[in-house]
Structures are given as structure tokens and as C-alpha cells.
Structure 1
Amino acid sequence: MKHAFHNIYRNQSLIYRIFLFICATALVVYLFPKAGKFKYELQKGKPWQYESLYAPFDFPLLKTGEEMEKERETVRKEFIPYYTYNSGTMSRVMEHYAAEYDNFVQRSELEKTGQDFLRSLYEKGIIADQENMPPGRFMHLVKGNEVSVVNKERIIRRGDLKQHLFRYLDDRRLSAYKTDFYKLFDKITEPNITWNKDFSEKALKEELENIYATKGTIERGERIILNGEVVEGEKYEKLYSLQQEYTSHIWKGTNYYWILFGYIVLVGLAFVMLFLFLGKFRADILNDNTKVTFIFVNIIIMVFVTTLAVKYDGSYVYVVPLCILPIVLKAFFDTRLGFFVHALTVLLLGFVVPNSFEYIFLQIIAGVVTILTVSELYRRANLFISVGQITLVYMIAYLAFTVIHEGNLNDIIWLNFGLFILNGLATLFAQPLIYIYEKLFGLVSDVSLLELSDTNSKLLKELSDKAPGTFHHSLQVANLAEAAANEVGANAMLVRVGALYHDIGKMNNAIYFTENQTTGVNPHDEISPEESARIIIDHVLDGIELARKHNLPDRVIDFIRTHHGTTTVYYFYKKQLEQDKHTAIEDYQYPGPIPFSRETAIVMMADAVEAASKSLKNPTFSMINDFVEKIVSKQIETGQFLNANITFKEIEDIKKVFKRKLTNIYHLRIEYPE
């Protein structure tokens, strides 16, 4: 049992990657649409390149989108809205009439005349002036539980009350009482017919939903299209109908499990390719579970967002800013990995999106443009320029596909250009997204490195105040290391930042380091070699503690850990050896670890060369050449670069850069005569 737990602990990284692989595969398959995949690529306007196709089963012929929309528009135009008839309004008005009559009309024998007019008025129906009337001739009138269709011309507008009243009184030769009756009716009359919005909208929705989506049936064995025929017109409609029926027809019974199995195999195969790629070209990332998780999270997010867009409206798939993926991965890793993951994600999305060939072609081209154009994200204009180029590529490719499908640009959908512009605007979110990822996953981008390289930052200003000599040394190391990194293609920005911070631990005991001794007094003369060595060695641990206190990224702290590797504080070791021949050399060695990347190895070499160069007296080119060779060779002999992925050729190139830089630094000016 103990042995089993030991094996699990020893292989926990591998176990985690297997777990991540299983979870990612399951989640992506879950996000895929629950339908089969039509085995033919349907491309309108192009010749049918497959075998002649006959209906494999009976299926309905679907109406086109234009036909459906035309029918919907007809239903909307012919729809008769619903209005509610309020039976209680007339009784209430009659009561007001009886109470107010004597105040307006002085003849009691005319009271019944007014009642008859009100009764005829409300039997027809009164509607408010601001109430909308139906566009057609008829309207539905709801009285209690009964619905009848009435001519809207019989309904009286509240504003037409005066006209109807005067005509009624003229017919009865009571014109002298027009004013009195109008004042009375104008006060008490209220509408008894109102538009029933909820009922009308519900009825219209039901009518729209009842529109048949089919216009016929294709029987089994009926010819759909022959090889070489152009996919257009009725042939396209039949193929589209078969595609829709096919995707739902095969997702039944035992087919469900076979399709699910197929999806799992294909998605799993894609992720296996990702692991193989990382193992072949970026083993450092494969061995870092955080980075592997980061890559998988980005893939899953893109699949999730694209799936949502497809479910809402297939045309919105081009709003999803898929090019954020290579931008983010390039910011944290490199160009090759960014494009590989982008291409892999696009292939997975081919199972989700309509017109997968067009989508894959367009997104691969956009990914190439992204990789080739997006650089130096810390320069604000660069991202805007790149996004503009990406959007332009989308538009040009869309125009080309439209010409291929339609043969002209007459049927171009201008809305799609708006979608491409929205895609570009969404891609600009890459900048804040990079910042969020830095905080969530502890990664470092060039933008953060640029901020850290500012010598006016709090920590570097403190270093320049407390240890000015060390600060100047760090600047020199940064210049040497950056030039060397550019020469061998390493991350120059990371190298520069690592060099600037590699000696911050010297702030705690600045006076014990020669570059900060300005008075000629050396405090090491007052203490034992053993104590001096401990102070010198401790600047590494002090630097790590300071870096963590100021929240420096781990990638920068790595330079503090490794810039001395496991080398020896040789001066104090020799001094102690003179006093005690049994002195253990291990007590005078830095704790390490040794450099484990090209960048940390470069800073280690630059630090040793720059520090030792201060001891050169009247240097010449040959002295500098021998000096650099001696220091770097010593580091190689002691195995300091065994874990760093750096070649002998790169080390030779780095030494050449150091020699050239030091020659320029120590070059003496010609003395001009006065």
C-alpha cells in the first residue's frame, strides 16, 4: 500500500494530465450539438463532387428562409387584432347620466331621448382617440367568453361623439338642445372598447408558429442530385432538407452511442496531438501543469462561446473573436504554439459550425494573419493595427466566397460586415484578458515585463538608493544579457527584467558588496571568512524574500534563484582554507538551483562576466577574450548549464556578444592635442 501511494505521488503530474485530458474531452463532446454530422460538404453554387445522390429515406422538403419570411409577413398583414368589449361601462355611464341630467338639460321629457342615444352608442362601441385601430376592415371583439368579427367602421371614436350626437338630435328636430346634451355627454362618456395587447400578440404568435416549414415530401429512392451538377435552386433545397433531416434522423437509438463514441475518439485524438506537439517542441510547458491547464481552458472557452453563438443564430458564429486565442498564447508562449492550438481549435469547431469548410478556411487564414502581425503587445498601436488587418481579411474572404456561391455580388449580406467589425472590436479584449490570465495563472506577458523593466519602479528605486553600485551593476548586466538574448533568439525582455532584479537581495547588507563600498573601508576585514561567505550567499535568499514581498512573478524570481547556480564563494573559501585545511567546500557554495532555461543561463554568464570585468586593469582585446573564455568555461566545467536548454553554438555566440560589448565599454578615447 505504501509503495502504491509512493508511485502515485511520484507520478502525480502525469496523473493530473491524464485527468485533464479526460475532463477536457468529455466537456468538449458535451458541448457539441446532439446531432449527427452530414457526410457531404454542402457548398452552394459549386459542382456536386460526390457520387450521384438518391434519397436514403422519406423526408420533408423544407421551405427556404425567404419563403418562410414571406409567409410570416403575409400572416402579419392579414392578422385581425383582438379588442375587449367592457359590458359594465354602459351601466356606469347610465348612472352618471341620471345623476347629471338635470344639471345640463332643463326638460325632463327629453331624458329618455338621451338614454336611447347612449344605449345605441355603447351597443356599437366607443374607442379612445389614442387607441390604435386595425389596418384592415375587420377586428375581433371579445365579449365575455364570445369572440366575434366586426367591421371597424361601426366602432365610434371618442372624438366623433359630437358629430354623431348632432346628427341624432337633428333627425329628431331637437337641434336647440345640441349644446346642453353635448356638454352632458362630453362629461360622462367613456370608451368601452380597448385593444387587448396580450391576447393579440399571443394569437399572432400562434398563427406564426402554425406556419408549415415544409412544402412537400421527397420519397425514398428519388433522385436528389447527380455527380457534376451545380448545387443551386431546387437541388440545393433538397440537399439542405436532407442535411437537416439526416442530422436528426441518425441521432436515435443505438446510433446515439456510436456517434458519441466517434466524437470522443476524434476530440481525444486532437488533444493527443496537442500533447505530442508539446512533448516534441515545448517539453517545458508540458511539464508545467499550470500552463497545460491554461491552454486547455482557452480551447474549452472558445468551443463553449462558439457553441452558444451557433445555438442562438448560426450567422453570429463570426462574431466570436477566435483570433484572441493565438494572440493570448503568443503573448505567454510563442508563435508556433499559438498557431498550432488555434488550428486545432478551429478543426474541433468544424463539428459545430454550419458551412464548416468556409469557416475553417477563413479562421485558419485569420490565424495566420494574427500570428504574422501581432507583435510587441506592449505597444498599444500594434494590436489595433493587427485587428484591423484581421477584420479586412475576414471581409475579403467573405466577398470571395459570396462570388463563388452566387456568381455575383448582388445578394451580398451587408450585415455580415457588421459582424466582422464586432469580431474585431471583441478581439481588442485580448489586452485586458491577458492581464486577467496573469493574475489567475501566475503567467507573465511582455506587457508586464515592460512595466517591471521601468527603473522608476518602487523596488528598483529602493535598490538605487540603498545599493547604488549594485543598481549600476544590474543595469550593465541587463544590457549585456539583453544583447546576448537577441543574438540567440531568447526572450530578450524577460532576460532584461531578470537581470535588473537578480541582485535585489544585496539591499539588506549593501556595504558588504564591493560595488557599494565608496569609503575604502571593507567590513569583511572585521569578520571571519565563514561569516562573510554566509552574508554573500544569503543575498540570494534575501532577494527571493524581497521579490515575493513585492509580488514579482515566479519567472523573474527564477533569475534570483539561479544567477549563481551552485558556484562557490571561492575567495572566502580559500581564505578560510588557510586557517583550517579541513574546511568543507559545501559550506561555501550557493544553494542553487542551477539555470534551467536559456534565459537564466544567459543572465548567469552576464552577471559573472560583468562583475569580474571590474578587476581588469588596462584591458586589451586579448585580455577580454581570455577573460570571457575563462569565466564561461569554468561555469561549463562545474555543470552549471546541464539543465538549461542551451547549445554550445549558442554559448559561443553569447561569448562573442560579451567580448564585443566589453570591448566597447573599455575602449579608450584618443587623446586630442590641446
Structure 2
Amino acid sequence: MNVFLNKWYKNHALGYKILLYLVTTLFIVYLFPKTGKFRYSFEKSKPWQSENLYAPFNFAIKKTNEEIEKEKAEIESQSPVYFDVNKEVEREVLVKYSNRFKQVFEDSSAYSIKNSNLYKEGKSIVEKVYKLGILDLEYSYNNERNVVLVISNKVQNELQYGSLNELGDLRQLIEKLLPNNLSVDAKNRMISIYFDVIKPNISLNKSLTEKVLEEELSKISLTRGQIEKDQLIVSKGQVIEEDQYDILNSLKSEYESHVWNTKNYNWVLVAYTLLVALALLMLLLFLQKYRIEVFLDNTKVTFIFFNIALMILLTTLVINFNSQYIYVVPLCILPLVLKAFFDARLGLFAHVLTVLLLGFIVPNSYEYMFLQIIAGMVTILTVSELYKRANLFISVGQITFIYIIAYFAFFVIHEGQLTGIKWETFGLFVLCGLATLFVQPLIYIYEKIFGLVSDVSLLELSDTNTKLLKELSNRAPGTFHHSLNVANLAEASANEIGANAMLVRVGALYHDIGKMKNPTYFTENQSTGINPHDELSSKESAKIIIEHTLNGIEIAKKNKLPDRVIDFIRTHHGTSLVYYFYIKEKVNNELVDIADFTYPGPKPFSKETAILMMCDSVEAASKSLKEPTSTKINEFVENIINKQMEAGQFLNADITFKEIQSIKKVLKHKLANIYHLRIEYPE
């Protein structure tokens, strides 16, 4: 058990990567459609590019959504509407009519003889009104719509909706039915009676109406016609007409919804898993071979896998909502983010792999992959110095322009003309460009979550008015001035060989912050001429000098400096020797332990940290130059850097001999400018 635990402890980083790899693979496969993918791509009114296609099995031709919706609309317009008729209402109204009639006409002597006839005529009108009935509401049915009247659950009558009376038309109906020889006073009294007593007796039977409609809709056939096995569907080069397009869609749907889901579902999942796993494995192998420092950092590997999974998740959500909006997803954020935190090559590699994975789920996959890969290349090539806001806006404009140009070219190739171009797609590209601008706050969020550092943060750290650099300038002004000089030398050297100039400048500004703890023990801060080392042994002095790197790491972590900056503090002396005190001790003690006078390291492990080591040593030692000349400076720079190379300080850094020669050239030129060397003219 102990052996197993020890092995796990030693290889836990690799175990974590394997677990991350498997989880990411399964997550991406889970996002993929739970069907197979039809092997052919086709478009209406375009030539069939593949070989002759014969029906692999019998299948029905499915109706299009438009056809089904049209049939549904026709059935809905013809389906009868059922209304319930309440016969009790008519009897109640007749009773109320009789009572109300007596009340209204009891004071009228003019109708004392005729009242009996008027009463009968009024009663007849009530019966006529209720012969068809009065609706309780104004419904929005067409007047020709078929209506079925139901009395006590039995069909009583079938007629059109326009035949029924509505409450809003009651006055007009009564005036039409009243005798023409009535006086205005009698007519008004009769109308008031009807308005007092008449009430609706017909109401919609919603449940029965909907039930009948559902029964009719359920009879709609989703297919039309049948294709027999081995029947020719389309020939190579043949233009796909509407009928053939419907047949191809039916075959595609049959494959995805029936064949794959029932017979080969497990095999489809296995196939998807293999392809996704293969793509992610390529990413891990790339990191291991070309970006070993990233591969060894589990946080960075997690960050890369997280961003790939996030882009696939966003694209999947948009496709599930509406695939027409697929180009709104700002996929170019991925290479932008990875370039900001790592480098362009890694950003492009991860972007291409992500686009290849998305090719499984997007419509028109070739067109989509071409557009996104080209856009990713433009992103990598155009975006530089992301911390400059103008650069980002310019690059986003260029990316949007490339999207539009490429889409326009694809449309012309497919259609052969400009008519019918979807201008709204250009609007989607503009929205995608605007969404890409979200990369700035996203980078800030990632820095806080994953503890990474970007050029934007480096720009903030390079400000000499920051709290830590202010403290350095107050407590150790000589060290601060030395750091500024080293930063200028290191930045120029980094620009010369194509290294990260911003990173190396920030590293140079903070590399000696550990000297704040004992500033007077370092010569650049000894303004009074008193050297405290005179009272210490060589071993004690060396210990104080060496400890400034450890103190610097402690101060940097306390002030939450990024790890990439702390690396410069750790490595700027590598495993070099505190030579002065070592020689001084050796004079008095031949058995001196060299380990007591050696920095703990580690050695520089990147171009940037190697540059800082060279510039720091050259700048510090240049203070000892007396009457410098071009020859002296050249020999001086060559001597210092060659000694570092002989000591193997740059073995772990990915820096070439040619690049070191270029750095030497820059340092010689810069030192010559610092000491204002001029050509010596003859007297």
C-alpha cells in the first residue's frame, strides 16, 4: 500500500492530467448530438458532389415543416366549433318578460286595448331571438366557420358562425323584428324591456372543440410517398431540386433518428469519444514537446482545457437554440486569450483543434471550419500588445472584415450570383466582433481565478508609482536606480531576439526587491562611505547577499506578485558564486565550503530569465569600469557573459548561442551610450 501511495505521490501531476483529459473528453462527447452524422453534405439547387446515391433501405419521404403547418392551418380553419345551448335561459327570460311588460305598460292608457296584441308580438320576438340563441362573448371566428349547437350533450343543429346572434347586435335585431306601426314611445319601452331581460344562452364548449380538433390533427400523415431500397435518389453532378432535397433530408433524418439511435448508438458514442480523445491527445503531446513548462503546470493545462470546453459549450447552446446564430459565438476569443497568457503558436494550435471538434456538430461544417480557422489565423497575426486598447479594436475590425469577405466568397461559389444574399449574416459577424471585445474583462477574470498574468497586468506592474516600487525607491534608492537601468537593458535585449519585452522589463524592476530588508549591505545603497561588511566575516556577508533572493520571494508573495514575475527574483543569480567574499574567505581558510557562497538557484529556465541574468550582471559590474572605452566595454561584456555560459547557467533556458551573441551586441551598444563614448580624434 505504501509503495502504491509513494508512486501516486510522485506521479500525481500526471494522474491529474489523465483525469482532466478523460473528464474533458467525456464532457465534450456529452455535448455532441446523440446521433450519428450523415456522411453527405448537400444544399438545395446545388450540384450533388458525391457518387450516385441509391437508397440503402426502404424509407418514407417526410413532409417539410411548411407542408405540415399548412395542413394544420387548413384543418383548424375547417374544424367545427361546438357551443352549448342552455334552454332554461329562454324559459327564464319569458317569465321575466311577462312581469316586466306589465310594469312598463301599466300606466299607459294609449295601449289599454292593444296591449294584449303587443304582448304577444313581444313574446314572439323573444322566441325568434332564442331560436338560434345569443352568444355569451364575441368570438373571433370567421362567419363561414362551421358551428355545432349542443343541447344536453346531444347535437341539436349545425350552421355557420355568422348565423348566431351576439349581444352587441341585440338592439339592431330587436328593431328589425318590432312592428313598424309602433309609436316611438312604445318602441323604446319594448327595447328597454328586452335589454332588461334578455341574456346569453350559448357558450363555447372549449374542451369538446379542442378534442375534435386534436383528433383531426392526429390524422395528419407526416410522410408522403415511399422510396424503395436500391432506388436511385440522385446522380453525381445532378442539381438537387426541391423533391430530391426532401428525399435527401428524409434519408438523413432516418439515419440520425432511427438507424443510429436504435442499432448503432453505442458505437457512435465510442467513435465520437475516440475522435475527441485523439484531438485532445494531440494538444497534450504538443504541450509536452514544445511547451514543457506549460505541460508541467497543472493549472495552465486546466486553463487551456477549460477554454476549449467552454467554446464548445457556447457553440452547442447556440446550435440548440437556433443554428442561424452560430457565427455570433466569438470563437476568436480562444486564440486571443491563449496568446495573452502563453504564446501565438499555442493559441493557434488550440483554436484549430477546437474548430475541428466543432465540425462534428455545426451545419455546413466545411464552410464553418474554413471561416473560423482563417479568422483564428488573422487573430494571431494581427493582435499584438493586447494591453493597448486601440490594437484590440483594430484587430477586431480586421477579423470581422475577414469573416465578411470569406462568407461573401462562399455565397457566390454556392449561388453563382449575388441576389438572395443574406445581409443579416453580416450583422451576425459584426455582433461576433463586438462580443470579441469582451476578451479584456475576461482576461482580468481569468487572472484572478487561475493566478495567471497577462501583458495588461504586466503594464500595471511596470508603473514605477506602484506601492512596492515606491517603497524600494525610498528604502534602497541605489537598488531602485540599478533596477531601472537593468530594465532598460533587458527590454532592449528582449526586443532584439523576439522575447517578451514587457515581461522581462517587469521582472527586472522587481528582481532586487529583497534588498529592501538590508539595503546598506549592498554597495549601490552605501552613500556614507561606511561598509557594514567590514564588521562581518566573509561567510556572514555572503549569507546576507545570498538571502536577498529569498527575501525578495517572500516580499513578492506577500504583495501578491504573479509567479511569472517571482521567477525572475528566483533565478536572476542562478547558481552563481558570491565571488568576492568567496575569494576573501579562501585567503584565510583553504577548506572553505563553496556551497556557503553559492546562490540556491534555480538556473534561468526561459529566454526572459536568462536575459535578466546577463543584464543584471553586466549593469552591476559596469560600475567598476574606470575610464571605459569601446574596447574595454566589449571585453567586459564578453568576459561576464562567457563566464556565465561556462558555468552552465543557461543550460535550462531555451536560448540559442546566436541569441546570446545578439544580446551581447545590444549590451555593448547600450553601455557605450550610457558612458557617452565618442570617437577619439587625433590631436
TM-score normalized by structure 2?
Answer: 0.86
| Alignment partners' CA distance in 2, 1:99 and 1:615 | 128
Residue among 370, 374, 380 paired with 2:383: 374
Residue among 132, 137, 140 paired with 1:133: 140
Most deviating of 180-189 and 361-370: 180-189
Match of 1:618 in 2: 627
Most deviating of 518-527 and 32-41: 518-527
Aligned residue identity for 1:643: N
For the pair 1:276 / 2:285, whether they are aligned, the reply is yes
- Residue 360 of structure 1 and its aligned partner are, at CA, apart by 1.7
| Structure 2, unpaired ranges of 5+ | 108-114
Match of 2:664 in 1: 655
Query: SS state of the match for residue 226, structure 2?
Result: strand
Query: SS state of the match for residue 60, structure 1?
Result: strand
- On the 8 A contact 2:84/2:204 being kept in 1, the answer is no
| Alignment partners' CA distance in 1, 2:387 and 2:656 | 30
Please give the per-residue CA displacement for 1:546-568, whole angstroms capped at 9, x wherever unaligned: 21122211111111111122223
Alignment of 1:525-540 (within 5 A): 525-540=534-549
Aligned residue identity for 1:226: S
Query: SS state of the match for residue 667, structure 1?
Result: coil
Query: SS state of the match for residue 105, structure 1?
Result: helix
- On the 8 A contact 2:134/2:167 being kept in 1, the answer is no
Match of 2:33 in 1: 33
Cα separation, partners in 2 of 1:258 and 1:97, compared to 1, 3 Å: same
- Residue 180 of structure 1 and its aligned partner are, at CA, apart by 5.0
For the pair 1:105 / 2:95, whether they are aligned, the reply is no
For the pair 1:391 / 2:390, whether they are aligned, the reply is no
Alignment of 1:494-643 (within 5 A): 494-643=503-652
- Residue 618 of structure 1 and its aligned partner are, at CA, apart by 2.3
Aligned residue identity for 1:137: E
Cα separation, partners in 2 of 1:27 and 1:604, compared to 1, 3 Å: same
- Residue 2 of structure 1 and its aligned partner are, at CA, apart by 3.3
- On the 8 A contact 1:124/1:154 being kept in 2, the answer is no
For the pair 1:466 / 2:465, whether they are aligned, the reply is no
Most deviating of 638-647 and 550-559: 638-647
Most deviating of 62-71 and 305-314: 62-71
- Residue 437 of structure 1 and its aligned partner are, at CA, apart by 1.8
- On the 8 A contact 2:101/2:193 being kept in 1, the answer is no
- On the 8 A contact 2:553/2:570 being kept in 1, the answer is yes
| Structure 1, unpaired ranges of 5+ | none
Query: SS state of the match for residue 518, structure 2?
Result: helix
Please give the per-residue CA displacement for 1:281-306, whole angstroms capped at 9, x wherever unaligned: 22222222222222222222222222
Most deviating of 141-150 and 441-450: 141-150
Most deviating of 569-578 and 223-232: 569-578
| Alignment partners' CA distance in 1, 2:75 and 2:12 | 65
Most deviating of 583-592 and 442-451: 583-592
| Alignment partners' CA distance in 1, 2:67 and 2:635 | 85
Match of 1:23 in 2: 23
Please give the per-residue CA displacement for 1:424-448, whole angstroms capped at 9, x wherever unaligned: 2322222222222222222211112
Cα separation, partners in 2 of 1:515 and 1:349, compared to 1, 3 Å: same
Cα separation, partners in 2 of 1:133 and 1:103, compared to 1, 3 Å: farther
Match of 2:59 in 1: 59
Query: SS state of the match for residue 592, structure 1?
Result: coil
Query: SS state of the match for residue 134, structure 1?
Result: coil
- Residue 499 of structure 1 and its aligned partner are, at CA, apart by 1.0
- On the 8 A contact 1:563/1:604 being kept in 2, the answer is yes
Query: SS state of the match for residue 474, structure 1?
Result: helix
Residue among 283, 293, 302 paired with 2:302: 293
For the pair 1:440 / 2:449, whether they are aligned, the reply is yes
Cα separation, partners in 2 of 1:467 and 1:136, compared to 1, 3 Å: farther
Most deviating of 110-119 and 160-169: 110-119
Cα separation, partners in 2 of 1:166 and 1:336, compared to 1, 3 Å: same
Cα separation, partners in 2 of 1:272 and 1:146, compared to 1, 3 Å: farther
- On the 8 A contact 1:85/1:125 being kept in 2, the answer is no
Aligned residue identity for 2:492: A
Aligned residue identity for 2:140: M
Residue among 446, 459, 462 paired with 1:450: 459
- On the 8 A contact 1:375/1:382 being kept in 2, the answer is yes
Cα separation, partners in 2 of 1:303 and 1:479, compared to 1, 3 Å: same
Aligned residue identity for 2:144: R
For the pair 1:489 / 2:488, whether they are aligned, the reply is no
- Residue 603 of structure 1 and its aligned partner are, at CA, apart by 0.9
- Residue 484 of structure 1 and its aligned partner are, at CA, apart by 0.8
Report the aligned-residue RMSD. 3.7
- On the 8 A contact 1:566/1:590 being kept in 2, the answer is yes
| Alignment partners' CA distance in 1, 2:206 and 2:633 | 91
For the pair 1:340 / 2:349, whether they are aligned, the reply is yes
The number of equivalent residue pairs is 668
Aligned residue identity for 1:313: N
TM-score normalized by structure 1?
Answer: 0.88
For the pair 1:418 / 2:417, whether they are aligned, the reply is no
Identity, % of aligned positions: 58
Aligned residue identity for 2:33: P
- Residue 661 of structure 1 and its aligned partner are, at CA, apart by 0.9
Most deviating of 570-579 and 597-606: 570-579
